[in-house]
Chains A and B, each alone.
Chain A
Amino acid sequence: MLGVLGVTVIVGVGTYLIRAGSLSLGGRMTWPAWLREWFVFVTPAVLGALLGPEIFLPNQHGIFLWNNKTFLASIPTGIVAWCSRNLLLTVMVGVLCFAALSYLLS
Protein backbone atom coordinates (compact mmCIF):
# COMPACT_ATOMS: atom_id res chain seq x y z
CA MET A 1 0.00 0.00 0.00
CA LEU A 2 3.02 2.25 0.35
CA GLY A 3 3.29 2.16 -3.45
CA VAL A 4 -0.37 3.15 -3.79
CA LEU A 5 0.21 6.03 -1.35
CA GLY A 6 3.16 7.21 -3.42
CA VAL A 7 1.16 6.96 -6.65
CA THR A 8 -1.71 8.89 -5.03
CA VAL A 9 0.57 11.74 -4.00
CA ILE A 10 2.42 11.88 -7.33
CA VAL A 11 -0.73 11.70 -9.46
CA GLY A 12 -2.51 14.16 -7.16
CA VAL A 13 0.29 16.70 -7.33
CA GLY A 14 0.80 16.09 -11.06
CA THR A 15 -2.90 16.48 -11.86
CA TYR A 16 -3.07 19.67 -9.80
CA LEU A 17 -0.05 21.12 -11.60
CA ILE A 18 -1.62 20.25 -14.97
CA ARG A 19 -4.86 22.03 -14.02
CA ALA A 20 -3.10 25.01 -12.40
CA GLY A 21 -0.64 25.35 -15.26
CA SER A 22 -3.46 25.33 -17.78
CA LEU A 23 -5.37 28.11 -16.00
CA SER A 24 -2.25 30.15 -15.36
CA LEU A 25 -1.01 29.94 -18.93
CA GLY A 26 -4.57 30.28 -20.19
CA GLY A 27 -5.10 31.53 -23.68
CA ARG A 28 -1.38 32.37 -24.00
CA MET A 29 -0.72 28.75 -24.99
CA THR A 30 -1.70 27.64 -28.45
CA TRP A 31 -1.62 23.90 -28.72
CA PRO A 32 -0.92 22.36 -32.13
CA ALA A 33 -3.96 20.54 -33.53
CA TRP A 34 -2.21 17.16 -33.57
CA LEU A 35 -1.43 17.43 -29.84
CA ARG A 36 -5.02 18.38 -28.99
CA GLU A 37 -6.21 15.35 -30.95
CA TRP A 38 -3.68 13.09 -29.26
CA PHE A 39 -5.02 14.15 -25.82
CA VAL A 40 -8.48 13.03 -26.96
CA PHE A 41 -7.29 9.54 -27.96
CA VAL A 42 -5.29 8.82 -24.78
CA THR A 43 -8.34 7.93 -22.67
CA PRO A 44 -9.84 5.33 -25.07
CA ALA A 45 -6.37 3.84 -25.57
CA VAL A 46 -5.89 3.50 -21.80
CA LEU A 47 -9.39 2.03 -21.40
CA GLY A 48 -8.49 -0.54 -24.06
CA ALA A 49 -5.15 -1.30 -22.41
CA LEU A 50 -6.91 -1.93 -19.09
CA LEU A 51 -9.79 -3.93 -20.58
CA GLY A 52 -7.75 -6.17 -22.91
CA PRO A 53 -5.88 -8.24 -20.29
CA GLU A 54 -8.82 -8.04 -17.86
CA ILE A 55 -11.24 -9.58 -20.36
CA PHE A 56 -9.01 -11.98 -22.30
CA LEU A 57 -6.40 -12.94 -19.70
CA PRO A 58 -8.22 -12.94 -16.37
CA ASN A 59 -5.91 -15.60 -14.99
CA GLN A 60 -2.86 -13.68 -16.23
CA HIS A 61 -2.03 -16.34 -18.82
CA GLY A 62 -3.67 -18.27 -21.61
CA ILE A 63 -6.74 -17.20 -23.53
CA PHE A 64 -9.62 -19.57 -22.79
CA LEU A 65 -12.86 -18.00 -23.86
CA TRP A 66 -15.45 -20.69 -23.31
CA ASN A 67 -15.10 -20.81 -19.56
CA ASN A 68 -13.87 -17.23 -19.14
CA LYS A 69 -16.75 -15.60 -17.28
CA THR A 70 -15.21 -12.12 -17.61
CA PHE A 71 -15.17 -12.43 -21.40
CA LEU A 72 -18.63 -13.98 -21.56
CA ALA A 73 -20.15 -11.31 -19.26
CA SER A 74 -18.46 -8.54 -21.30
CA ILE A 75 -20.51 -9.45 -24.39
CA PRO A 76 -23.97 -8.49 -23.06
CA THR A 77 -22.33 -5.61 -21.17
CA GLY A 78 -20.92 -4.21 -24.42
CA ILE A 79 -24.21 -4.67 -26.26
CA VAL A 80 -26.19 -2.88 -23.54
CA ALA A 81 -23.58 -0.09 -23.38
CA TRP A 82 -23.67 0.48 -27.14
CA CYS A 83 -27.45 0.32 -27.50
CA SER A 84 -28.66 1.99 -24.31
CA ARG A 85 -25.91 4.63 -23.80
CA ASN A 86 -26.82 4.32 -20.11
CA LEU A 87 -23.90 3.93 -17.71
CA LEU A 88 -25.85 2.68 -14.69
CA LEU A 89 -27.86 0.16 -16.72
CA THR A 90 -24.70 -1.15 -18.35
CA VAL A 91 -22.91 -1.72 -15.05
CA MET A 92 -25.99 -3.36 -13.49
CA VAL A 93 -26.49 -5.73 -16.43
CA GLY A 94 -22.79 -6.54 -16.45
CA VAL A 95 -22.61 -7.37 -12.75
CA LEU A 96 -25.80 -9.45 -12.91
CA CYS A 97 -24.50 -11.43 -15.91
CA PHE A 98 -21.18 -11.97 -14.16
CA ALA A 99 -22.98 -13.15 -11.02
CA ALA A 100 -25.11 -15.57 -13.06
CA LEU A 101 -22.06 -16.92 -14.90
CA SER A 102 -20.13 -17.28 -11.62
CA TYR A 103 -22.95 -19.47 -10.31
CA LEU A 104 -23.33 -21.48 -13.53
CA LEU A 105 -19.62 -22.05 -14.11
CA SER A 106 -18.73 -22.84 -10.48
Chain B
Amino acid sequence: MIHGFRDAIPIVVAYVPIAMTFGVLAASSGIPWPLCILISACIYAGASQFMLISLVSTGASPLSMAITLLLVNLRHFLYGTTLGPVFSSWPERLKWLAAFGLTDEVFAVSCRALDRRPNPSYQFALILSCYIAWISGTTVGCLTGRAIPNSVSGILQFSLPALFIALLFLNYRKWTSLLAAACGAGLAILFQYLELKSLGIIVGAMVGSAIGTLCSKWRTSPSE
Protein backbone atom coordinates (compact mmCIF):
# COMPACT_ATOMS: atom_id res chain seq x y z
CA MET B 1 0.00 0.00 0.00
CA ILE B 2 2.87 2.39 0.85
CA HIS B 3 4.33 1.80 -2.62
CA GLY B 4 0.99 2.75 -4.12
CA PHE B 5 0.93 6.08 -2.30
CA ARG B 6 4.59 6.68 -3.21
CA ASP B 7 4.08 5.93 -6.89
CA ALA B 8 1.04 8.23 -6.91
CA ILE B 9 3.09 11.32 -5.94
CA PRO B 10 4.14 12.34 -9.50
CA ILE B 11 0.56 11.97 -10.70
CA VAL B 12 -0.82 13.93 -7.73
CA VAL B 13 1.68 16.76 -8.37
CA ALA B 14 0.52 16.93 -12.00
CA TYR B 15 -3.20 16.43 -11.32
CA VAL B 16 -3.73 19.24 -8.81
CA PRO B 17 -2.89 22.20 -11.11
CA ILE B 18 -4.61 20.58 -14.11
CA ALA B 19 -7.75 19.90 -12.08
CA MET B 20 -7.66 23.45 -10.70
CA THR B 21 -7.39 24.78 -14.26
CA PHE B 22 -10.39 22.68 -15.25
CA GLY B 23 -12.33 24.01 -12.26
CA VAL B 24 -11.50 27.63 -13.06
CA LEU B 25 -12.38 27.31 -16.76
CA ALA B 26 -15.56 25.34 -16.12
CA ALA B 27 -16.81 27.80 -13.51
CA SER B 28 -15.96 30.84 -15.61
CA SER B 29 -17.81 29.21 -18.55
CA GLY B 30 -20.96 29.37 -16.48
CA ILE B 31 -21.09 25.76 -15.26
CA PRO B 32 -22.34 25.75 -11.62
CA TRP B 33 -19.64 24.69 -9.17
CA PRO B 34 -21.44 21.54 -7.92
CA LEU B 35 -21.71 20.38 -11.54
CA CYS B 36 -18.00 21.13 -12.10
CA ILE B 37 -17.13 18.81 -9.21
CA LEU B 38 -19.60 16.18 -10.43
CA ILE B 39 -17.98 16.25 -13.90
CA SER B 40 -14.58 15.54 -12.37
CA ALA B 41 -16.03 12.90 -10.06
CA CYS B 42 -17.99 11.06 -12.77
CA ILE B 43 -15.96 11.41 -15.96
CA TYR B 44 -12.49 11.58 -14.38
CA ALA B 45 -10.67 12.01 -17.71
CA GLY B 46 -8.74 15.26 -18.28
CA ALA B 47 -8.83 15.71 -22.06
CA SER B 48 -12.52 14.89 -22.40
CA GLN B 49 -13.43 17.16 -19.47
CA PHE B 50 -11.73 20.11 -21.17
CA MET B 51 -13.41 19.14 -24.43
CA LEU B 52 -16.75 19.17 -22.57
CA ILE B 53 -16.21 22.81 -21.58
CA SER B 54 -15.43 23.68 -25.20
CA LEU B 55 -18.52 21.85 -26.46
CA VAL B 56 -20.72 23.60 -23.88
CA SER B 57 -19.30 26.99 -24.94
CA THR B 58 -20.06 26.33 -28.61
CA GLY B 59 -23.63 25.28 -27.83
CA ALA B 60 -23.32 21.73 -29.15
CA SER B 61 -26.30 19.47 -28.55
CA PRO B 62 -26.10 17.12 -25.54
CA LEU B 63 -26.28 14.09 -27.86
CA SER B 64 -23.30 15.19 -29.97
CA MET B 65 -21.37 16.06 -26.79
CA ALA B 66 -21.95 12.60 -25.35
CA ILE B 67 -21.05 10.81 -28.61
CA THR B 68 -17.89 12.89 -29.17
CA LEU B 69 -16.59 12.43 -25.62
CA LEU B 70 -17.33 8.69 -25.59
CA LEU B 71 -15.48 8.37 -28.92
CA VAL B 72 -12.43 10.04 -27.38
CA ASN B 73 -12.57 7.76 -24.31
CA LEU B 74 -12.97 4.59 -26.41
CA ARG B 75 -9.17 4.31 -26.47
CA HIS B 76 -9.36 3.16 -22.83
CA PHE B 77 -10.53 -0.19 -24.18
CA LEU B 78 -6.93 -0.87 -25.15
CA TYR B 79 -5.83 -0.82 -21.50
CA GLY B 80 -7.17 -4.32 -21.00
CA THR B 81 -4.80 -5.89 -23.51
CA THR B 82 -1.82 -4.67 -21.44
CA LEU B 83 -3.13 -4.81 -17.88
CA GLY B 84 -5.71 -7.56 -18.26
CA PRO B 85 -3.30 -10.48 -17.91
CA VAL B 86 -1.78 -8.89 -14.77
CA PHE B 87 -5.21 -8.43 -13.15
CA SER B 88 -6.47 -11.86 -14.25
CA SER B 89 -5.83 -13.32 -10.79
CA TRP B 90 -7.97 -10.68 -9.11
CA PRO B 91 -11.60 -11.40 -8.11
CA GLU B 92 -14.01 -9.98 -10.68
CA ARG B 93 -15.56 -7.41 -8.30
CA LEU B 94 -12.13 -5.95 -7.48
CA LYS B 95 -11.37 -5.59 -11.20
CA TRP B 96 -14.62 -3.65 -11.69
CA LEU B 97 -13.80 -1.48 -8.66
CA ALA B 98 -10.25 -0.77 -9.85
CA ALA B 99 -11.48 0.12 -13.33
CA PHE B 100 -13.07 3.36 -12.13
CA GLY B 101 -9.69 4.90 -11.35
CA LEU B 102 -7.95 3.74 -14.53
CA THR B 103 -6.91 7.03 -16.11
CA ASP B 104 -4.12 7.41 -18.69
CA GLU B 105 -1.62 8.32 -15.98
CA VAL B 106 -2.65 5.54 -13.57
CA PHE B 107 -2.43 3.11 -16.50
CA ALA B 108 1.11 4.30 -17.27
CA VAL B 109 2.24 3.87 -13.64
CA SER B 110 0.52 0.47 -13.40
CA CYS B 111 2.40 -0.66 -16.53
CA ARG B 112 5.70 0.24 -14.89
CA ALA B 113 4.74 -1.95 -11.93
CA LEU B 114 3.80 -4.96 -14.09
CA ASP B 115 6.85 -6.97 -13.10
CA ARG B 116 5.80 -6.59 -9.45
CA ARG B 117 2.25 -7.87 -10.22
CA PRO B 118 0.39 -5.03 -8.41
CA ASN B 119 -1.88 -6.36 -5.68
CA PRO B 120 -5.22 -4.76 -4.79
CA SER B 121 -3.84 -2.74 -1.86
CA TYR B 122 -1.16 -1.16 -4.08
CA GLN B 123 -3.60 -0.42 -6.89
CA PHE B 124 -6.28 1.07 -4.64
CA ALA B 125 -3.75 3.25 -2.81
CA LEU B 126 -2.60 4.55 -6.20
CA ILE B 127 -6.14 5.10 -7.45
CA LEU B 128 -7.45 6.75 -4.27
CA SER B 129 -4.54 9.21 -4.04
CA CYS B 130 -4.96 10.34 -7.64
CA TYR B 131 -8.75 10.57 -7.41
CA ILE B 132 -8.65 12.69 -4.24
CA ALA B 133 -6.07 14.99 -5.87
CA TRP B 134 -8.29 15.39 -8.95
CA ILE B 135 -11.45 16.18 -6.98
CA SER B 136 -9.66 18.51 -4.56
CA GLY B 137 -8.01 20.45 -7.39
CA THR B 138 -11.34 20.79 -9.19
CA THR B 139 -13.07 22.00 -6.02
CA VAL B 140 -10.47 24.69 -5.37
CA GLY B 141 -10.46 25.72 -9.02
CA CYS B 142 -14.21 26.04 -9.49
CA LEU B 143 -14.70 27.92 -6.22
CA THR B 144 -11.92 30.30 -7.29
CA GLY B 145 -13.28 30.56 -10.82
CA ARG B 146 -16.56 31.99 -9.59
CA ALA B 147 -14.72 35.03 -8.27
CA ILE B 148 -13.02 35.88 -11.56
CA PRO B 149 -14.44 39.01 -13.23
CA ASN B 150 -15.96 38.65 -16.72
CA SER B 151 -13.23 40.69 -18.39
CA VAL B 152 -10.56 38.29 -17.16
CA SER B 153 -12.58 35.13 -17.78
CA GLY B 154 -13.04 36.25 -21.41
CA ILE B 155 -9.27 36.27 -21.82
CA LEU B 156 -8.86 33.00 -19.92
CA GLN B 157 -11.23 31.23 -22.31
CA PHE B 158 -8.45 31.21 -24.90
CA SER B 159 -6.57 28.80 -22.64
CA LEU B 160 -8.89 26.06 -23.97
CA PRO B 161 -7.88 26.33 -27.65
CA ALA B 162 -4.30 26.94 -26.48
CA LEU B 163 -4.48 23.70 -24.47
CA PHE B 164 -5.89 21.79 -27.46
CA ILE B 165 -3.14 23.18 -29.73
CA ALA B 166 -0.57 22.12 -27.14
CA LEU B 167 -2.06 18.61 -26.80
CA LEU B 168 -2.10 18.23 -30.60
CA PHE B 169 1.47 19.42 -31.23
CA LEU B 170 2.97 17.71 -28.19
CA ASN B 171 1.42 14.26 -28.59
CA TYR B 172 0.45 13.95 -32.27
CA ARG B 173 3.36 15.20 -34.35
CA LYS B 174 3.19 12.62 -37.16
CA TRP B 175 1.80 13.90 -40.45
CA THR B 176 -0.92 11.24 -40.40
CA SER B 177 -2.20 12.53 -37.03
CA LEU B 178 -1.99 16.16 -38.18
CA LEU B 179 -3.85 15.19 -41.36
CA ALA B 180 -6.57 13.59 -39.23
CA ALA B 181 -6.79 16.84 -37.23
CA ALA B 182 -6.90 18.96 -40.40
CA CYS B 183 -9.71 16.82 -41.87
CA GLY B 184 -11.61 17.03 -38.60
CA ALA B 185 -11.20 20.81 -38.62
CA GLY B 186 -12.22 21.20 -42.27
CA LEU B 187 -15.35 19.10 -41.89
CA ALA B 188 -16.37 20.79 -38.64
CA ILE B 189 -16.02 24.21 -40.30
CA LEU B 190 -18.03 23.04 -43.33
CA PHE B 191 -20.83 21.65 -41.18
CA GLN B 192 -20.92 24.84 -39.11
CA TYR B 193 -21.51 26.76 -42.34
CA LEU B 194 -24.35 24.35 -43.07
CA GLU B 195 -25.85 25.13 -39.64
CA LEU B 196 -25.13 21.54 -38.57
CA LYS B 197 -22.51 22.35 -35.95
CA SER B 198 -23.20 19.43 -33.59
CA LEU B 199 -23.14 16.85 -36.39
CA GLY B 200 -19.94 18.40 -37.76
CA ILE B 201 -17.91 17.51 -34.70
CA ILE B 202 -18.91 13.85 -34.86
CA VAL B 203 -18.43 13.63 -38.65
CA GLY B 204 -15.09 15.43 -38.35
CA ALA B 205 -13.97 12.99 -35.66
CA MET B 206 -15.08 9.86 -37.53
CA VAL B 207 -13.89 10.86 -41.01
CA GLY B 208 -10.68 12.49 -39.75
CA SER B 209 -9.69 9.40 -37.76
CA ALA B 210 -10.58 7.13 -40.70
CA ILE B 211 -8.41 9.18 -43.07
CA GLY B 212 -5.54 9.14 -40.58
CA THR B 213 -5.85 5.35 -40.25
CA LEU B 214 -5.98 4.82 -44.05
CA CYS B 215 -2.96 7.06 -44.65
CA SER B 216 -1.04 5.27 -41.90
CA LYS B 217 -1.80 1.89 -43.51
CA TRP B 218 -0.86 3.24 -46.97
CA ARG B 219 2.43 4.53 -45.60
CA THR B 220 3.36 1.23 -43.92
CA SER B 221 2.03 -1.22 -46.57
CA PRO B 222 4.77 -3.07 -48.50
CA SER B 223 5.36 -1.63 -51.99
CA GLU B 224 4.76 -3.94 -54.95
Instruction: Decide yes or no: A81 and B172 within 8 Å by CB, A41-B177, A49-B188, A95-B155 being known contacts.
Output: no
A91 pairs with B180, CB closer than 8 A: no
Is A104 in the interface zone, CB < 8 Å from B? no
The prevalent SS among residues of B at the interface is helix
A48 contacts B188, C-beta separation under 8 Å: yes
Chain B hits for A95, CB < 8 A: 155-156, 158-159, 162
Interface check A68, CB cutoff 8 A: no
| List of B residues within 8 angstroms of A61 by Cβ | 193
With A27-B84, A41-B208, A50-B201 known to touch, is A18 a contact of B73 (CB < 8 Å)?
A: yes
Which residues on the B side are within 8 Å of A78 (C-beta)? 165, 169
Taking CB atoms and an 8 Å cut-off, the chain A residues in 15-56 that contact chain B are 15-16, 18-31, 34, 36-56
* Category for how many chain A residues contact B: 35 or more
B2 CB–A CB distance under 8 Å: no
B166 and A15 contact, CB distance less than 8 A: no
Q: Is the interface of A mostly helix, strand, loop or mixed?
A: helix
Q: Is the CB of A1 within 8 A of B31?
A: yes
- Contact A91 B166, beta carbon cutoff 8 Å: yes
Are A27 and B88 interface neighbours, CB within 8 A?
Answer: yes
Contact A23 B102 (CB under 8 A): yes
With A12-B42, A90-B162, A91-B163 as given contacts, are A21 and B170 in contact (CB-CB < 8 Å)? no
**Closest B residue, CB atoms, query A58:** B161
Residues of A contacting B186 in the complex (Cβ-Cβ under 8 angstroms): 52
Please indicate the chain A residues that have their CB under 8 angstroms from the CB of B193 in the complex. 57, 61
| Residues in chain A near residue B204, CB distance under 8 A | 45-46, 48-49, 52
Q: In the complex where A48-B181, A50-B54, A70-B158 touch, is A81 in contact with B165 (Cβ < 8 A)?
A: yes
Give every chain B residue within 8 A of A12 (Cβ-Cβ): 41-44
Residues of B close to A67: CB separation below 8 A: none
Interface centre among B42, B55, B154, by most chain A C-beta atoms within 10 angstroms, is: B42
Q: Is B139 an interface residue (CB 8 A)?
A: no
Q: Which residue of A lies closest to B69 (CB)?
A: A11
Question: What CA separation (Å) do A10 and B68 show in the bound complex?
Answer: 12
B6 within 8 A of A: no
A82 interfacial contact with B, CB 8 Å: yes
Q: Which residues of A have CB within 8 Å of B154?
A: 102
Report the separation of the CA atoms of residues A46 and B72 in the bound assembly, to the nearest whole angstrom: 7
- For the A-B complex with A26-B81, A50-B54, A50-B161 known, give 13 more contacts whose Cβ atoms are closer than 8 Å: A3-B61, A4-B39, A8-B43, A10-B70, A48-B182, A50-B51, A54-B54, A54-B160, A54-B161, A73-B162, A94-B158, A95-B156, A95-B162
Across the A-B interface, the 7 shortest Cβ-Cβ residue pairs: A26-B84, A52-B185, A12-B42, A45-B208, A94-B162, A48-B181, A22-B80
